[in-house]
Chains A and B, each alone.
Chain A
């Protein structure tokens, strides 16, 4: 988009592309549709009616009684949802002891480390000398990274926010928790001490995702291909010099509760597929798979890596590989939240597959809708099911799906198609 004013700000390239997409998506209406619109306007003008809006009728019914009713319903709604209110987007509220540089890197101004405070109460504190960065901070969470050193995190529990912390080649998926994580790039040693809550750690040598509970400590040594999970002792190891005080120490259990060697990476680079995916390095992920072998990858990769692989393969139109990664995700991590998403994406992969069938895609969407009726992809799954049903059996068969869609998602992306199906002869 060009600007005729030199003082006018330049949009980010991605925003320019997105704006063009939005502009081009709207297409002129057909003359018949315009005629219908004109007839409707004429009828309204003739009746002298103003626009009917349910909210307006509601206000006319009586402001006082409406407010009372709304408050009552809101209270009931909040109680039913476990007291959960809509959550604000995550933003950085301030940075203590340093500044943010280009690329999200955190520069320390003193010797006490740097601490990032977020608006919803979460904190990310780097010890002195630690190299870390804010990869992205978005509405639905943040993606942080430690390239070398130790950081302490206290993440406020949230229903919708998703926090990812990269430490070297490891990826820590966080909900609500407090922990200290470190990555020593020289010795290739990863360590995570979990004070409370739980996290999932994925990366090389950990044989898929590792679920850690409060009071546990995970140490991974890449050169020794060793993964050790032990009970954490509060007085053990280094302390973070900035950040929130550690949570109350859990009872010390001296014995090691788990120690398992893991296969060494055979000539492949350490997996950082979630990061590669986020950076758009899809070919790098696929090259890793080609080097390691598809079967071995599908058996060894962690949940997040499989998901990243499925996306990368999808983006590169390798539908069969994407589908295989999603099926591996379902088989190996059936309890992971990603497994539900995989159901929907399997439907999409089936639609994209050279020899895929509409029936099988519909079956995947049905599975998703039955297991996650209010899931993130519910509207999309139902919409796709409606479209495919129409392709298979025509409007007669698709109409019931369209009705359900309109009831559940009256302003959804497929609402126009659903209405068209309802009107179809």
Chain B
């Protein structure tokens, strides 16, 4: 390890020194040799994005924070295996996708264990402090819970993260046609469920109850 780090440092581009302006490929090199600045810069560059995705996917900020730590621990450990340093962003996202899918599976398993199961459903961000928003969001996440992990991920990445179908296919290591099928399936089912709920249909008409304070 020591030798490898020395060799890598010798070949590392000068742009690595600053960190803040480093290209993704430079970061990948830095991570591969365990450079502290690369760890910090990778976190600074990608963690906010993964945090938001995880929070939107799970509906829980505290769980998202746990997930992101797990994702980056894996990224930092596995960085030497990254074949194409230019694809660091996809590399990070692919770990995020894997960890999020594992988290969903874990939740489902926990559903069978009464003593491991928490009483409440998904935590909705504290910022959505009005009762109705949290109620509506809780409903959204209950509906998302009914989708398969793949459909849920595709839907969240497409609709909440505004990723293109191609980007989703790359991140999730799926074919474009599979992503499209998954998206169609998720969209159709969610639309049906939402339209069966008068309160949610009311939301589309802007019927939303505000708070006094």
Contact = CB atoms under 8 A, between A and B. Distances in A.
A19 B142 CA distance: 13
Contact of A38 (B40, B126, B203, B211): B40
Given A1-B159, A18-B136, A9 B183 contact: yes
Nearest to B76: A45
Contacts of A29: 48, 51
Interface residues of B, number: 85
Q: How large is the interface on A (under 10, 10 to 19, 20 to 34, 35 or more residues)?
A: 35 or more
B203 A41 contact: no
Contacts of B6: none
Nearest to B176: A5
Q: Counting chain A CB atoms within 10 Å of each CB, which of B68, B126, B134 scores highest?
A: B126
A121 interface: no
A237 B69 CA distance: 69
B173 interface: no
Interface in B192-213: 192-198, 200-205, 207, 209-213
A54 B116 contact: yes
Q: Which secondary structure dominates where chain B touches chain A?
A: helix
A245 B134 CA distance: 45
A42 B39 contact: yes
Interface stretch (B7-15, B17-25, B88-96, B107-115): B107-115
A417 B123 contact: no
B180 interface: yes
B120 to A, nearest CB: 4
A9 B127 contact: no
Nearest to A387: B129
Interface in A158-191: none
B174 interface: no
B187 interface: yes
A65 interface: no
Contacts of A7: 180
B200 A18 contact: yes
A258 interface: no
Given A1-B159, A55-B106, A314 B209 contact: yes
29 contacts: A1-B159, A8-B180, A8-B187, A12-B192, A18-B139, A22-B59, A25-B133, A26-B52, A26-B61, A27-B125, A37-B47, A38-B43, A38-B47, A41-B69, A41-B72, A41-B76, A45-B73, A49-B73, A51-B69, A53-B106, A73-B114, A77-B114, A348-B131, A351-B212, A408-B119, A411-B63, A412-B120, A413-B124, A417-B126
Q: Which 5 interchain pairs have the tightest Cβ spacing?
A: A412-B120, A12-B191, A14-B204, A13-B204, A26-B55
